[in-house]
Structure 1
Amino acid sequence: MFDDRSPIYRQIADQVKDDVLRGVLGAGQQVMSTNQYAAHYRINPATAAKAFQQLVDEGVIYKRRGVGMFVADGARDRLRTERRERFFTEVVGPMLAEAHALGIPVADIVAHLQRHDPPGDSR
């Protein structure tokens, strides 16, 4: 599950965020405890705790003392908004700059995307 591209705690936090975005974890749903997560993935509990603290700080999950960690209301929408903004900044912006350098009109890009848009996918 883990690779060398970034610290394990970030990979854990990213996985939880991905689960929230995909609807695997819904608002109000309890997530594994740090100890359960550490045991399941055979990692140091402090690493799992650091990931979960990051998620709390970002408002993705919240703690209920003595009960556990839960997905925050609105977390999916906030994550989607953040990812969309990052997509336009990190993917679309550089793509448009490259298209401009190559003399590709934006209309050609739009037409190409529309030809490859999966049917019924109007998110």
Structure 2
Amino acid sequence: MKIALIAHDKKKNDLIRFVQKHDQEFIKHELFATGTTGTRIQDEVGLSIHRFKSGPLGGDQEIGSRIANQQLDAVFFFRDPLTAQPHEPDVSALIRLGDVYNIPIATNEGIANVLIQAIIRNEL
């Protein structure tokens, strides 16, 4: 599977802990991430990741393009709902594309746990 990993600044540590917890599953897949998130996952978890630009610099749009071209199977996007994001239109567009193309997007750890279990059981 092709999986994207994204996290807002205040959620990066949560996503990294989640990926560490499930590293034996993530290692089996082709991973993509926005800039800083991808760098941190590579450095702290040791997984190979194709990195796009930082989210505010176009990385969210690059991942959205992959969704629109049916080049991603799932997205883990740990969002910070309590902090205004300067690139909120890009975030909304990415989530809208997931809905349009029926790509599951886990926006918090609860949904991420459900999604990773579906991936493990090969239910996607």
TM-score normalised to the size of structure 2? Answer: 0.29
Which has more strand, going by share of residues? 2
Larger Cα-atom Rg:
1
Which has more helix, going by share of residues? 1
Structure with the greater relative contact order (CA < 8 A, sep ≥ 6): 1 or 2?
2
